[in-house]
Each structure stands twice: as structure tokens, then as C-alpha cells.
Structure 1
Amino acid sequence: MDTCRQLYNQSATMGLMMLRSNFSSEAKHVENPTEAVKELHGKILDSVNVKRSMPPNDLLWSLIENCRNEDDISFLFDVLQNLRRFRLTNLRIHGNFNCNLCRQVAKACVRVGAINHALMIWTVSKRVLWKHNVHGLTPSVASAHHLLSYALEHKDAKLMDEVMKLVRANNLPLQPGTADLIFRICNDTDSWDLLAKHSRKFCKAGVRLRETTFDVWMEFAAKRGDTESLWNVDKLRSESYTQHTLSAAFSCAKGFLLEQKPEEAAAVIQIIYQEAYPDAKKSALETEFKKLVNEWPVDVSKHQTEGCSSFAETWHPCNGQCFGKLRV
């Protein structure tokens, strides 16, 4: 009889351990969460594991808002995993959390990612882009944009490319705002091949690119001295927009200069200067002109193949015919 009772007690103990293991803590190895997050984490798990009831929503939202470091994020994902399991096993809710929650979680991850251990935070935050994840987070374009904004701030083309792979894997729609971030990251990191790859995908998907996106694309082509790509992009731009922006016009002028056509370059700038922009924007035009004179030739030289004469040395608008024709 005692043996049977002992076996029963062992069985009950094992059953309780198995039950607790179903809500195992991802945060058990975390060392330095903030006190506010620790307290909220404890309240939520107490509600789920002890009271066997869903905690108030404001506890989870407060936890998200109070995340300040990587360990806080680990506690957050531990809570999400426990809530996901509780919803599934006790409430029979099979669906993910709503998109707004996913967006706020991604925002919190990016906010925390602004500190030193960024790479690990990316690993954590990218979980929100997996369609079938144990945390019940619904992937969205808005969540992807938070990560892409982080990649833009930190000039991280590799992270950008990884995020776009997750976007495609989850069949998320490509949007103009996504393209704008992608093109800016590629320009800032001098990643022309990546820009070419992603631009084909956006064009194939029929995304109507913003004027600012075309500006970056054309400026990048002009900076590389690639007139073929520059004119192809300008043709594509003209299918959506009839008038050049200031940036696009200067990119066209640079294209003519690369082709040794200073008259055409001067004509483009003159039209923009006299007709297209009011006096309030003249200072912006003069800034662009100074960049053309002082910075752009150096940029082109950096992208020239080895053994060629430096573009900055062979053409400088401060001397000779080009500068005279371009002065506005």
C-alpha cells in the first residue's frame, strides 16, 4: 500500500513537473532584466501558471513599453511563448496575436537594438517575421519596416537582405515604403548589386516607386558613373512622374557630363533653376550645385576601375569649359 502511495505521489509530482515544463521559461538564463520588467514578468506568469487565467492585457503592453535592454526582451519573449501556449491549450485559440502587438514588439526590439549587443537583438527581433513561430506573433510589413529602419540607421546591408528574405518567405506584399528604405540602405552602403536585385523584384511586383526612391536610385547610378543605368532608371521614372525633382534633374546633368555634353547638362540645370522651383528653393539648388562641383567627381573616381585616370583629375568644373556652361 505504501509502495502504491509512493508511486502515486511520484506520478503526481512528475505530472506537475511536466505541466510546468509546458510553460518553461526562456528567461531562466537571463541575468540583468530591469526591476519593472521582472515584476511584470512574474505577474503574468503567475496568472498563467498558478491562477490558470489570462492576465489583463495592460500587463503585457506595460511589459513591452518597459523593455530597456536585451534581457528585458528575453523576458518579453518568454511571456509571449507562455501566453501562446496557454491560449492554445486552455482557451483553444489557435490564431496568432494581432498585428498591432507584433508591430509593438518589433518596435521594442529595435529600440533595444540601439545599444551595444545589436546582433543578438536582431536574432531575437527577427522572430517576429516568422509566420509560424512559438511566440504567436503575426508578421507584417510594419514590423519589417522597423527592422529596415534599424538597418538604415546602422548601415547594415546584410541585415536588410535577411529581413527581405523573411518578407518573401511570409508572402508579405512589397510596398513603396519598403522600396524607399531598401534603396537608401543600398546607396548608403554602396551595394549596387543588392539594389539591382531588389529593384527587379519591386518592378516585377508592379510597385509604384516614390519620387524619393527614384532620386536615390538615379543619384547612385550617377555616383558610379553608370550612364546606361541612369538613363534606364530615368525612363522608368518618366512612366510615373512627368517632372523631375531637383535631385533627379541634377542626376541627369551628371549623366550628360559623364558623356561630355556640358551644354545639355547646363540646359537641364537652367530649366530647373528658372522655371521649376520658386525662390524659396534656390538655396537647395545651390547646395546641389556645390555638391556636383566638389563631391560628385570624387565619388565617380572611387568607382572607376583600377588603372584608369581619376575622373576628379581629368574633369573639374572649376576650370575650363564645363564650369562656364554650368554656372547658373
Structure 2
Amino acid sequence: MSKILVTGAAGFIGFFLCKQLLDQGEEVIGLDNLNDYYDVTLKQARLAQLTDKNNFLFYQLDLADRQGMAQLFADIKPDRVLHMAAQAGVRYSLTNPHAYVDCNLVGFMNILEGCRYSGVKHLVYASSSSVYGSNKKMPFSVHDNVDHPVSLYAATKKANELMAHTYSHLYSLPTTGLRFFTVYGPWGRPDMALFLFTKAILEGRAIDVFNYGKMRRDFTYIDDITEGVLRVSDNIPSPNPDWSGYDPDPGISAAPYKIYNIGNNKPVELGYFIEVLEDCLGTKAVKKLLPMQPGDVPETYANIDDLQKDVGFKPSTSIEVGIPRFVEWYRSFYGA
């Protein structure tokens, strides 16, 4: 049995990871600051499903609390860390940039330092498909340059990858960054499109459709994300002594450091995504067509060759399966 620290334990992905690990008999320490970026009662409802487990211990703590984080690592000495906590959202970064610096940069530094001094065997952390920014080459590959982010959120995630590499190089800390592609499913985030669309349609309100609907997203179901994270967690990166230092490929390093995309490898037109949701709800959406929002991108598409090669996994849940599951949960949870 391993002792695993999961940050963002009351968040969408962190919650599912905790559930799966607990079911596997692992000792799980969950951390979350339960901030009010979105409905805290949803976070508390997720957490309530974890706190009655004998092998689960919860800490309410802010990642940016340097002393508190140092004490936490000293007290629990985790074997592995699954760092899913972050200030999320592209659009919110336009209005509250300091939240991203505090959580995603200062907080991530505290995670790295905790891992360094407590002898963590593997740090797996959430990055984002947002790091690809204005890249036009499709599908997005971890071997592509990602030096042109178009939002502060994306810039902080790229910074996390660079910070992690430094610690892998200097202190031989094995780190793996995961670029998630548009995660959705039951218990999902209220600021994401599927949640917003469902709520608006059921309330008889128009839905905001950006870029006049000319969007494509690599929607990835939560169960696929969970399985991918856990498989990667078991696959600890090793140093690569064959790396020459002259290779310009950003996906290769001499350090015990890896980056993977986790996406469905199948972009879906936003219009079709809405059609599937309408069928599930039995109601047509009233669409308010709007221009592209600052910081957003028209398309995402994950190249998952490295993920398949290294851990033998390919996400496979279609939106025709995933959206009905979300709608069933939403109706049950909110009595809609």
C-alpha cells in the first residue's frame, strides 16, 4: 500500500482520483483549500463521499501557504504526489490574474519543495492543452514547441512544466506533467461548457456559443482521465543518458521528466456536441452566437502516441456515451 497525496481532492479530477485510489486500498491524503471560484457546496458534496473512508485523511490548506505546505510534507511523507489543484479557467485569468500566480506558481513551488525534501518517488501534475496556445499544427504533440501561450492560465501551466524540469534535473525528482484536453463528466466543473449549457437549457435561457460555433474540442471523459493519470503514476520516468543536449525536441530530456497529452484523440464540432446534449435533454437550445473570447483557441486535438507507447492507454469514451452520463448525474444531483 502506497501513501499518496492528492491535491485538489474536492475538485473534479482530484475527487475521481481519490475515489479510485481508495477503492484500490491505497492510503490517500487529500488536500484542498475549498475556495469559492465555483460553488463550494459541490466541492463539499464530492468531499463527503471520501471522508467516511478509513484510508482517507483530509487537510484544508492553501497551496500558497509556504509554512503550512512544508509542515504537511514533513508530517505525512507521501510516496507519490498527484497534484491536480490549480486556479483553473482561461477567462477568469483575464480578470483575476493574481489568483493564478498565487496558486499555480507559488503553490507549485511549494509542491516541488515538499517533494524535494520529503523524498517523493514520483510527482504527477496537471498541465493543460491550453499550453499549445496559437499552434496551428494538428494534432498537438508534446514534441511541439509551446512558447506562445494566449492566456495567463496557459502561461502558468507552461511555467509549471519548466519548473518541474528544473527539479528533475537538479534533484533527480521524477516528474510527469499531463496536458488534459477538455475534461467533462459527472461531478464536473460548473464553469465548463457542458455544465453551463445544461443549466441554461433546462432553465430556458440562451446558451453563449463563441466563435459563432466554429469550435472543435477534444472532449475527454473523466474516467479516461482518471485511468490515464493512474497508469502514468505507476510509470516513473528514468534519466535518459542517451540525450545529447543538442536535440531541439522539447519532449525529450536527460532528466527523469516526462510530458503526456491525455485527450480523446478525436476533435468534435461544437455544434454536434450541442446536438447530442439537446437529444439527452429532450429540448432544443436557444443559441446566442458570439465572437471568440480573448485567450481562447478555435480547436484542440491531442496526439497521444507517447501515452500509448509508454503506458499502453488510449482514451476511448465518446461524447455519445459521456454526455448522457453527465445529464443523468446533473438531473439527479440538482433535481432538474
Same fold per TM (> 0.5)?
no
- Determine which structure has the larger strand proportion and give its number: 2
TM-score, length-normalised on structure 1? 0.26
Which protein has greater RCO, CA pairs closer than 8 Å, 6+ apart? 2
Bigger radius of gyration among the two: 1
